[in-house]
Amino acid sequence: MSSVGWEQEGALFPPHQPVAEPVAPATTSPRPAPLLLQGQDYYYRSPSTCLDFQERVHEMGLVDDDGDPVPCVLVLARAADMEMNELSLALAERGIRMARIDADRCLNLAMTVYTDAPLVELDQRLLRPMLVWRRHFDLTAVPVDPRTINGSYSVDQWRSVANWLSGRTDWEHVNPTRATCHLDRLTQLTDAQSFGLRVPRTAVTTQPGRSRPGGGQCIVKTAGHHLLEPRPGALHGLFPRPLDTSRAGDVPESAPVIVQQYVSAEGELRVFVVGEKLIAYRVDKLDPAQLWVDPDAVTVTRAEIPDTLAQRLLALARHWRVQVAAFDLLVTGSEHVFLEVNVSCDWRWFEHRAGSPDVSEAVHEWVATRFAELGAARGAR
């Protein structure tokens, strides 16, 4: 085991569908390929077909709207976000309207957002968002070529409007972006250490071959997203990997990477926080990339965590103002080593492997309860 963990920030796409797509070698520069792109063959094509139950029902005209604003949960995501598709069905069973704006389906969206009232019109249906959740609304998923003037225009407009929707103060937010947009991995490490958690020794460098945090073996990992989307819907994974100084060489990387101390571990934990509830899964694998390249060999089981660790994780979640997130930690004897927190976390794969739907049930209940609380508060005013 190693200090890399699975670290699936934004891991929207199933790890069990890797497909090799050869990457054309660069011909314009003698610079070697970045370390994290060397030998990288994970590829996933993200479908843009909508599977959202509520959207399908409304498209078929099976629901009558009387013209009054309908209170709703508004999700900014993308079509392949199966956690949100499942949430839509769960909220429908509770009589709660959910609407969505998907990055990969936004170009033909009929939308009007009112600035003087907390109202949104989507496809000629007037909605009053009570709770807004931005998950996998990535601008790289907008199906345009950003190198063209039209594509650049579309991306820039959607960036501005999506950021405004995600930060608007006259409705509530899940994992508000004002609190989490600057929650990078390095800030996470500093904060986790201040809350009493052990973290690996870490450096940020363009010369990974010269870095040895902790003085021994090291891991190199991305400072950004774990998935690159150079073309809309085409995703390439960036696996953390052991640092091989013979391959790193003396030529600086084209961008900074994280080099982190290798920590020998007995296993890994993914701990989901949902409101004030913690749900933990133990993950056992032989190789850092095994979750992606050979997921059938990965064992996932429900786990319990010590009270001291639980209190520290909940305190961090409150400090970061996140309501639904996932902590990644290493298990080293009686100690736990913090790796990162994933705000745009996915949980269905872990549930499937462990045969436990606890996170889905907790998320559905938390969203429905929060929606009811907001409705009651609005009615009391």
**pLDDT tier for residue 235 given thresholds of 50, 70 and 90:** confident
The larger pLDDT score, comparing residue 225 to residue 150, is at 150
Predicted pLDDT of residue 216 = 86
Residue-wise pLDDT for 267-285, tens only, equals: 999 999 999 999 999 998 7
Task: Mention every residue, 6+ apart, whose C-beta is less than 8 A from residue 27.
Answer: none
Q: How far is CA 17 from the centre of its chain?
A: 18
Q: Quick one: average pLDDT of 25-34? A: 64
Is the pLDDT score of 54 beyond 90? yes
Supply the pLDDT for residue 93.
Answer: 96
CA–CA distances in Å: residue 300 to residues 269, 291, 336, 351, 362: 9, 10, 18, 8, 19
Lowest-confidence region among 152-156, 199-203, 333-337 = 333-337
Dump pLDDT digits (tens) for 118-164.
Answer: 999 998 899 999 999 999 999 999 999 999 999 999 999 999 999 99
